[in-house]
Amino acid sequence: MSDTGAVSVLGICGSLRRGSYNMMALRAAIALKPAHVTVTVADISQIPLYDEDVRAQGFPPPVETLRQQIAASDALVFACPEYNYSMTGVLKNAIDWASRPPDQPFAGKPCAIIGAAAGMAGSARAQYDLRRSCVFLDMHPLNKPEVLIGQAHTKFDADGNLMDEVARNLIRDLMANLASWARQIGNK
């Protein structure tokens, strides 16, 4: 965390598709964040499927980049879609790669989770799975507010703007809470 009080956040979205509601939600988080928070969005689209034999030869460049981005950030925000009641393979795969030693970069990192899904539960089940991984990896997941954007296809306009006022307020609060949480965890 910088002396100026700025908080740097890395956004990681678990969907790769162009029209992803979760990426739209992440963009809403960027629009609604406090002024002293900066958000960079990670590109996890080029990360290969995890293979311990490949890992033994060293981290592939997209993984190395992600690990460095995680290590350099004050906090993380995950945009977590739900596939078959769990987090997407894309997100889990990126987390699995980044989590390998040495210097596991998630350890001690404050993080927040948002999610959008077609179902009514708004990716709740996936988010709880992700929270479990966060705990194992020694992150400090923010408890509240939960941002569960259900029936996502009804919540964004054609330009990808989040139109739901309840969700917008929750995301605004979450980003403010994440910044405070990062300062607390970082002892600043």
Ligand X SMILES: Cc1cc2nc3c(=O)[nH]c(=O)nc-3n(C[C@H](O)[C@H](O)[C@H](O)COP(=O)(O)O)c2cc1C
Per CB under 6 A, residues contacting ligand X are: 15, 17, 20-22, 81-85, 116-119, 152
Nearer to ligand X, 116 or 162 (CB): 116
Contacts of 147 (CB under 8 A, 6+ apart): 25, 113, 114, 115, 122, 167, 170, 171, 174
Tell me the closest approach of the beta carbon of residue 64 to ligand X, in angstroms.
26
Tell me the closest approach of the beta carbon of residue 147 to ligand X, in angstroms.
13
Q: How far is CA 99 from the centre of its chain?
A: 14
Nearer to ligand X, 1 or 118 (CB): 118
CB distance 82 to 115 below 8 Å: yes
Nearer to ligand X, 154 or 180 (CB): 154
Tell me the closest approach of the beta carbon of residue 118 to ligand X, in angstroms.
4
In whole angstroms, what is the distance from residue 38 CA to residue 127 CA? 23
Nearer to ligand X, 78 or 181 (CB): 78
In whole angstroms, what is the distance from residue 50 CA to residue 54 CA? 8
Q: Is the dihedral of CA 48, 52, 53, 58 positive or negative?
A: positive
Tell me the closest approach of the beta carbon of residue 182 to ligand X, in angstroms.
25
Tell me the closest approach of the beta carbon of residue 92 to ligand X, in angstroms.
13
Taking CB atoms, the residue at the shortest distance from ligand X is: 119
- Residue 131 token pair: 């929270």
Our separate counts of H helices and E strands in the chain read 6, 6
